[in-house]
Amino acid sequence: MTQPSLFAAWRAMVMRDLTLAMRRRADVLTTVFFFIIVVSLFPLGVSPEMAVLREIAPGVIWVAALLASMLSLGRLFADDFQDGTLEQMLLLPQPLSVLVLGKVLAHWLVSGVPLVLLSPLLGMQLGLDVDAILLLMLTLLLGTPVLSLIGSVGAALTLGVRGGGVLVSLLVLPLYIPVLIFGTGAVDAAISGMDYDGHLSLLGAFLMLAALSTPLATAAALRISAE
Amino acid sequence: MLEVRDLECVRGDHRLFTDLNFQLQGGELLRLRGSNGSGKTSLLRTLCGLLEPAEGNVFWNGENIRAQRDEFNAELLYLGHHNGIKSELTGFENLSISNTLRGETPSEDQIYNALGQIGLAGREDLPTQVLSQGQKRRVALARLLLSDAALWVLDEPFTALDVGAVALLASLIEGHLQKGHMVVYTTHQEVEMRAGACREVDLDLLMQDRAEQK
């Protein structure tokens, strides 16, 4: 296969998934509402005290984003598996991992980017100042694609398994934890006036590593699950 | 040329078939027979490389298909039990996307023509979820019209089709064979096909033979 057709196929895959997401908006909104609701409940449940909220804000927003991202993993391959389009995808004359990367990108655009865009609003609600909010956005921008990439491996492995949702959480959560720690760590460090460059570099390194390795793992897992 | 050597397929604890050997040359039609659960679908999926055989190998032009997946996939068109179309997308979008993914670029006219020819004129721009079962099958079959793949693997292609569509599909298969390509299919329907070389593999008989040999 020539390179232009591989890129065309990759783009077709991304556009297809974005179109599908636009036609099933309810699915996308579920993730976003979940994120908003979880974060909004904290002032009610913990304390409306600004000092307390400011303290827990980075952690709360990051945990909510992580759970919302995990909630949306089920849709990544399950529909394609059921209607046979996944089977067709495995039989394409293109490298499967490249197409998987396209699918994960579309999934992140639909379920990760809205979280990044909403985070300033929720950050303000929890009393973060402007600098902390911008940094929070940056960590989410670096971190949520890692969540989608790692999640894709779990989603592919549990494809067609009964109770796959719980299994995905068990598989994927341990791998999410470093992202969570450095994501919240950066914002916490900034709030307490410390240097946070190291945290961001590590998040960037996670992203590079995940983007290079997880599509291969996901492609292999899909071939096994589809048997 | 498609060649199968000493193929064995095991699903769970059950051995579906063993020591299956056959060759298929250009222009030949192969029909798989067998009762329900005899392994027809498993064999077709093995031929495509979706299923790993327990024993033996599948060769395409003399080389193992697992060693040349992209090259083999470019020559293969598989139609399984599932139609492989997205219900939220229209027939036109489904065809256009699946062709782009395969690295082929038919023009819009060609796609509309294919859908018209398969009997979906006027319904090209409806989401396929509002189409009937038979019409969805037709959308999937329209891929055959746009493909120049050398090997078609069709799993129960006649299911849910009306008499007219069955005849149309039969003529498509005949045309494909006349171009010197190959078709492997299974069906429980008796459909008359005017093909130069029509071969059959009966999985039930094969297992009986193997049992007697022991």
- Between these two residues, A120 and B211, which has the higher pLDDT value? A120
Percentage helix, strand, coil for chain B under 3-state DSSP, each rounded to 5: 40, 25, 35
- In this predicted structure, what is the pLDDT of residue B124? 87
**Residue B74 and residue A93: Cβ atoms within 8 Å?**
yes
- A26 interface with B at CB cutoff 8 Å: no
Cβ-based contacts of A89 with chain B (< 8 Å): 101
pLDDT digits (tens, 9 = 90+) for A33-60: 999 999 999 999 988 888 899 889 999 9
- Show which of residues 95-154 on chain A sit within 8 Å of chain B, judged by CB atoms: 95, 99
Which residues 6+ apart lie within 8 Å of A154 measured at CB? Answer: A73, A167, A168, A171, A172
Q: Over 50: is that where the pLDDT of A137 sits?
A: yes
- In this predicted structure, what is the pLDDT of residue B194? 73
- In this predicted structure, what is the pLDDT of residue A3? 61
**Nearest-neighbour CA in chain A from B101: distance (Å):** 4
Report whether B91 contacts B115 (CB < 8 A): yes
Structural domain including A70 reads 3-225
CA distance A35 to A69: 9
Amino acid found at B186: T
CA distance B100 to B176: 22
Residue B6 φ/ψ, nearest 5 degrees = 50, 40
Q: Over 70: is that where the pLDDT of B195 sits?
A: no
Predicted complex ipTM: 0.89
Q: Indicate the number of domains in chain A.
A: 1
Tokens of B110: 């060609």
**Nearest-neighbour CA in chain B from A112: distance (Å):** 22
- In this predicted structure, what is the pLDDT of residue A60? 94
Report whether B151 contacts B2 (CB < 8 A): yes
Cβ-based contacts of A226 with chain B (< 8 Å): 50
The answer to whether the predicted template modeling score (pTM) of the entire model surpasses 0.80 is yes
- In this predicted structure, what is the pLDDT of residue A1? 46
- In this predicted structure, what is the pLDDT of residue A48? 86
pLDDT digits (tens, 9 = 90+) for B87-143: 999 999 999 999 999 888 888 899 999 999 888 888 889 999 999 999 999 999 999
In 3D space, the residue among B63, B97, B80, B99 whose CA is nearest the CA of residue A84 turns out to be B80
- Which 3 state secondary structure label does DSSP give B87? coil
- B98 interface with A at CB cutoff 8 Å: yes
Cβ-based contacts of B93 with chain A (< 8 Å): 19
Terminal alpha carbon distance of chain A: 25
DSSP label of B129: G
pLDDT digits (tens, 9 = 90+) for B78-88: 999 899 999 99
Cβ-based contacts of A93 with chain B (< 8 Å): 70-71, 73-74, 102-103
**Nearest-neighbour CA in chain A from B51: distance (Å):** 5
pLDDT digits (tens, 9 = 90+) for B30-39: 999 888 888 8
CA distance A88 to B153: 12
